[in-house]
Amino acid sequence: MWTRTVTTFRMTGRAKTASGGETPENEMAFFESILVTGGAGFIGSNFVRHIAGTHPDCRITVLDALTYAGNMENIADLVDNGRIRFIKGNICDAETARDAMVGAEAVFNFAAETHVDRSIEEAGSFIQTDVYGTYTLLTLARERGVRRFVQISTDEVYGSTEGEGFTETSPLKPGNPYSASKCGGDLMCQAFANTYQVPVVVTRSSNNYGPYQHVEKFIPLFVTNAMEGRDLPLYGDGMHQRDWLHVEDNCRGIETVAVAGEVGAVYNIAAGHSQPNLRVAELIVEHIGETSSKIVFIEDRKGHDRMYKLDAARARTLGWEPRVSFEDGMKKTIEWYQKNRAWWERVKSGAFREYYQKHYGERLEKGRPKGHPGKS
């Protein structure tokens, strides 16, 4: 049985504890042992790395089904040196998840189907993992009496904004099957907090970027395509806006909310770096330098949310604040993909090639290069 120890971490401001008291400045207790689901994916693996680095005494178990999006390479060094325990399994499978949860004081649920385009093609697996899987974990968390259940939700649950920043009390208006399934999981968490007093906190962050992000997503796809000299497939008019948050800032935000957040509450996490996609694409081309690839406008995503924007004032009251500027974050991220070519070349091979051809092939052929006067 793992024994109770208290680890501490440094923060920039004063923070409230879960019970409402204030901690000494810059110090808060963290959990002795945690279960991280989806820890072989993009944000989950960054979070595991962050906690392993900042809380040497914290015992970390990762439960991950290793779907096409999960990648053992993201955490292989930590598994090999014994820093984390890895269990391959599905969060919908109660028996495996129960075993994984033994000894965990806190559960961080990152596991999800996450790609909007794939949810538009097929939503069943999204409902299964993002709703039923979350329900399964909540049931087990209740049974085991965990101290905290942290649900990683998303800004997409609010749907598209006309310009105002959504707060945690804004109505939920999901615009695609992915965000609808995330709403299901998010609301199930709140229902379990209300009905069974499961100590849930929910984070809703904006779009993350950084190392280890799957190449199906906008920034890694464009960065790696530019490095390969392939065209950059921009949906619609390219003026859709996302509020970019460096993954390290999100990981610190999740940690802060887990420790200092009010039980039952929701916390938006965002940096306020809203950018039209076209601007981000241009910035990537500028950073990569010489490349034969060009930005091509292609048929829009069905039901494409125009703009996401969050008001993250509540998370800031806990002492969290973003530290990575968009310019520095993008520079660091592009450099990471330049240095880790073997990582993304493996991710881009095999099944991904088929997905890419099916999803983009014809649309790219019919697309219209940026600056071309003709119609698509």
Q: Given the residues 32, 105, 130, 155, select the one marked as catalytic.
A: 155
Closest separation in Å from C-beta 174 to ligand NAD: 12
45 token code pair: 């693996």
- 42 lies in the binding site for ligand NAD (CB under 6 A): yes
Closest separation in Å from C-beta 132 to ligand DAU: 18
Of 74, 21, 16, 15, residue with least CA distance to 50: 74
Residue bearing tokens 């904006």: 206
Residue 242, contacted partner among ligand NAD, ligand DAU, none, CB below 5-8 A by kind? ligand DAU
Closest separation in Å from C-beta 39 to ligand NAD: 7
CB closest to ligand NAD, residue no? 41
Distance set, CA 40 to CA 119, 143, 355 (Å)? 20, 26, 21
What is residue 62's three-state secondary structure?
Answer: strand
Report the residue from 92, 227, 283, 312 that binds ligand NAD according to the rule CB under 6 A: 92
Q: Given the residues 32, 130, 156, 216, select the one marked as catalytic.
A: 156
282 is catalytic: no
- 36 lies in the binding site for ligand DAU (CB under 6 A): no
156 is catalytic: yes
Q: Are 167 and 311 in contact (CB under 8 A)?
A: yes
- 137 lies in the binding site for ligand NAD (CB under 6 A): no
Report the residue from 35, 59, 75, 114 that binds ligand NAD according to the rule CB under 6 A: 114
d(CA 238, CA 219): 13
Of 38-46, 298-306, 313-321, 342-350: span binding ligand NAD (CB under 6 A): 38-46
12 contact partners, CB below 8 Å, separation of at least 6: 26, 319, 320, 321
Site for ligand DAU in 155-184 (CB under 6 A): 155-156
- 96 lies in the binding site for ligand NAD (CB under 6 A): no
- 344 lies in the binding site for ligand NAD (CB under 6 A): no
333 token code pair: 């991220």
113 contact partners, CB below 8 Å, separation of at least 6: 67, 69, 119, 125, 126, 129, 130, 178, 181
Of 68-76, 127-135, 183-191, 235-243: span binding ligand DAU (CB under 6 A): 235-243
Q: Are 177 and 126 in contact (CB under 8 A)?
A: yes
d(CA 36, CA 151): 11
d(CA 99, CA 113): 22
Query: In terms of CB distance, is 60 or 221 closer to ligand DAU?
Result: 221
Q: Quick one: 198 exposed, middle or buried, by C-beta within 10 A (0-12, 13-18, 19+)?
A: buried
Query: In terms of CB distance, is 31 or 108 closer to ligand NAD?
Result: 108
> Site residues (CB under 6 A) for ligand DAU?
114-116, 154-156, 206-207, 217-218, 221, 233-235, 240, 242, 277, 301, 308
Residues with active-site annotation:
155-156, 178
Footprint on this chain of ligand NAD (rule: CB under 6 A): 37-38, 40-44, 64-67, 69-70, 90-92, 110-114, 129, 133, 152, 154, 182, 205, 207-208, 214
